[in-house]
Amino acid sequence: MKKLFIYILFLVFLCFLIPILFTKKNNVKETMSSNQIKEDKQEISTYDYGKYNTVKLLHTKTDEVEELELDNYLLGVVCSEMPVDFEMEALKAQAIVARTYTLYKITTSKKHENADICDDSACCQAWITKEYRLSRWDEDKRESNWAKIEEAVNTTKGKIITYEGKPINAFFHSNSGGITDTATNVWGGTNYPYLQAVQTSGEDSYTQYSSEAVFTKDEFINKIKEYHSNFEIDFSLENQIEILEYTDGERIKTIKIGNLNLSGVEVRTIFGLRSARFKIDMEDNNIKFEVIGYGHGVGMSQTGADSMAKQGNNCEDIIKHFYTGVEISNI
């Protein structure tokens, strides 16, 4: 009888002990899962640039995606985006800017479903093949020109522009007209602290600095009506075209045309102007735009970079001039 009692007591003890053991085991598993989630989140938020050795490039004309080694891809960008006769330090700056812009796209922005970036400059960065670029150069300059492009990319290998440890959204353009602009003035939205208005001397010596566009009054009206069907203007009245506000970079921020208030960026788009820094004059039956600069005006000016290089500045001097408070980091 005593043995039976001990046996029953042992069974009761096991009934209490087993759930406790399983509970502890499950608690340990849940804790490990929680820690793993934290580690995964940390890994995702940590910029491990060394793993981005390839780029998935979308060819917009064929809709095909090609995977390229990063610096091989950059050769096609630099030779497409900047004239090869620019100073070497300007080309180096372009290579660093293009590498940074690419990594920003890969790690932050996702415009294209199956690709990191495309070859359309209106969307991402221009890119062309080596064969195409060589075919556009004089035969006696092909070898030396391509060697110059390779030097710009290879001597800056691994260098990117960072702000607070992260790659910047490294916008660039052709000619600032002597002063760049902030991103918010051009596109609104996010204010990037490293994209501020800065002045650069020497850009007025480049062909990209100034341009003109002339339209008849009828053409002028019809172009605006393509975007705003309610547009009306009476050229017999005064103050039908009036600049209301300028940006920090001396571009048109808001302009009154007839019954509309338009941004300078939109006017640039409507009339296909080189930049939003312009004057408008009426000459008899024509409307004339006098335009300064070429491009959106944000970030590095390419002719400004070349001008600075001619003045003895190196690629890092150029980059830190156009992008405020940044560092050059190695990946």
Provide the 3-class DSSP secondary structure of residue 33: helix
- How many Å is the maximal CA-CA distance in the chain? 123
Q: At what angle do helices 142-154 and 70-81 cross, to 10 degrees?
A: 120
Can you tell me the distance from the alpha carbon of 73 to that of 80, in angstroms, rounded to the nearest whole number?
11
Q: Can you say whether the dihedral through the CA atoms of 68, 69, 75, 80 is positive or negative?
A: positive
Q: Can you say whether the dihedral through the CA atoms of 46, 43, 116, 57 is positive or negative?
A: positive
Asked if residue 88 lies in contact with residue 145, where contact means CB atoms within 8 angstroms, the answer is: no
pTM above 0.85, yes or no: no
pLDDT per residue of the chain (331 residues) written in tens, 0 to 9: 545 545 555 554 555 544 444 443 333 323 233 332 222 333 333 456 667 889 999 999 999 999 999 999 999 999 999 999 999 999 999 999 999 999 999 988 678 989 999 999 999 999 999 999 999 999 999 999 999 999 999 999 999 999 999 999 999 999 999 999 999 999 888 789 999 999 999 999 999 999 999 999 999 999 999 999 999 999 999 999 999 999 999 999 999 999 999 999 999 999 999 999 999 999 889 999 999 999 999 999 999 999 999 999 999 999 999 999 999 999 8
Can you tell me the distance from the alpha carbon of 46 to that of 49, in angstroms, rounded to the nearest whole number?
9
Can you tell me the distance from the alpha carbon of 123 to that of 38, in angstroms, rounded to the nearest whole number?
35
pLDDT in tens, 3-15: 554 555 555 455 5
pLDDT in tens, 255-281: 999 999 999 999 999 999 999 999 999
Asked if residue 176 lies in contact with residue 301, where contact means CB atoms within 8 angstroms, the answer is: yes
Can you tell me the distance from the alpha carbon of 271 to that of 268, in angstroms, rounded to the nearest whole number?
6
Q: Can you say whether the dihedral through the CA atoms of 291, 211, 209, 155 is positive or negative?
A: positive
Task: For strands 166-167 and 159-163, give the pairing.
Answer: antiparallel
Q: Would you say how long the chain is, in residues? A: 331
Can you tell me the distance from the alpha carbon of 307 to that of 317, in angstroms, rounded to the nearest whole number?
12
Provide the 3-class DSSP secondary structure of residue 78: helix
